[in-house]
Amino acid sequence: MARPPLLSEEELQQALEELPLWQREGNVLVREFVLPNFAAAVGLLNAIAVLAEAMDHHPDLLLYGWNKLRVSLSTHDRGGITELDIALAKKIERLHL
């Protein structure tokens, strides 16, 4: 499957307006989640893993502390942020509502 091109600066800014809890750190989109407990953090991590596998687009996931999850999205083979990252971020937001 061909990977989409990197987003332009304008496209990226527009996408971030739709994802206000996500931050840009260089060529990566990042979101920190603080969950009520360890089980909820692991549950969210597993739910994200299922979404990512279905999309064949895998974020970096870091579970730390007892209730925190850091999600980092980037299209590694493109060296930055693409439509795939935005689409997965939006799906993750729907999970966490």
Q: Using one digit for the tens of pLDDT, what is the confidence trace for 81-91?
A: 999 999 999 99
Its domain, for residue 92, covers 25-96
More confident residue, 4 or 93: 93
Q: Using one digit for the tens of pLDDT, what is the confidence trace for 58-83?
A: 999 999 999 999 999 999 889 999 99
Q: Using one digit for the tens of pLDDT, what is the confidence trace for 38-61?
A: 999 999 999 999 999 999 999 999
Q: Give pLDDT, residue 4.
A: 87
Indicate which CATH number applies to the domain containing 42: 3.30.1360.20
Point out which residues pair with 28 in neighbouring strands: 25
Sequence-ordered alpha helix ranges (H) in 1-97? 9-18, 38-55, 83-96
Would you say residue 59 lies in a domain? Answer: yes
Structural domains in the chain (count) = 1
